[in-house]
Amino acid sequence: MRGLSFPENKVKTEVMSLSPPFRIGLGYDIHVLTSGRPCILGGVTIPSEVGPEGHSDADVLLHALADAILGAAGLRDIGHYFPNTDPKIKGIRSTLIVQKALDEVTQRGWKIGNVDLVLIGERPKIMLKIVEIKKSVADLLKINPEEVGLKATTNEGMDSLGQGKAIAVQAICLLYRG
Ligand code: MG
């Protein structure tokens, strides 16, 4: 019966309107640590005998963050936008990668609510740089430092992270309709 098609359309409209005005996204990255490389985390240079290896400036913290931002909007990961096989972007500053992620979600009507980051590794120690890194990330995302969580944990001596051979970061991001 033709009359039955109306409720079906109504249900479809209601389901669409249930889509929440916020999204969360998750990011993860890990880099090998090697001597003779700068150690840049969250856009801040950290005094360290070792630094992350990578095609870019290897800012593992910003890579995880960019993926969290992109993921929250259902977009592709940073490898899609910045393939590590592209010689043109060798040594690129990762602040530009986060800027690109921010531009992509902003164009789609999203704003950053907050981000939270966990750095996992034995070295370098970032305790003395946490405030500076939080401010750097906040400035990059145009949010307040209180909206940037940053913790560091060891891996209790286990595997490559625990043995100081690598550094990893987990990131989560909340987007909302501005
Ligand atoms: Mg990376």
Q: pLDDT value at position 121? A: 96
Extents of the domains making up the chain:
17-177
C-beta neighbour count of 37 within 10 angstroms: 18
Residue 22 C-alpha to ligand 1 middle, in angstroms? Answer: 26
Q: How far is the CA of 94 from the centre of ligand 1 (A)?
A: 9
> What pTM, to 2 d.p., does this model score?
0.89
What is the CA(125)–ligand 1 centre distance, in A? 19
What is each CA distance from 96 to 25, 56, 108, in whole angstroms?
19, 10, 19
Q: How far apart are CA 143 and CA 135, in angstroms?
A: 9
Answer whether residue 69 shows pLDDT above 90: yes
Look over the chain and give the mean of its residue pLDDT values, rounded to a whole number.
Answer: 91
Q: How far does residue 109's CA lie from ligand 1's centre (Å)?
A: 26
Distance 156 CA to ligand 1 centre (A): 23
Lowest mean pLDDT among 37-41, 42-46, 80-84, 158-162: 80-84
CATH of region 17-177, choose from 3.40.50.720, 3.30.1330.50, 2.40.50.100, 3.60.15.10: 3.30.1330.50
Cβ contacts of 2 within 8 Å, gap of 6 or more: none
Cα distance from N-terminal residue to C-terminal residue, the chain: 42
| Burial environment of residue 3 by CB neighbours within 10 A (0 to 12, 13 to 18, 19 or more) | exposed
DSSP label at residue 49:
S
Q: What percent of the chain has pLDDT over 90?
A: 83
Query: 57 burial class (0-12, 13-18, 19+ CB within 10 angstroms)?
Result: buried
Distance in Å, CA 170 to ligand 1 centroid: 12
Query: How many whole angstroms from 113 Cα to the centroid of ligand 1?
Result: 23
3-state secondary structure of 29: strand
pLDDT value, residue 4:
47
Residue list, CB under 5 A from ion ligand 1: 29, 63
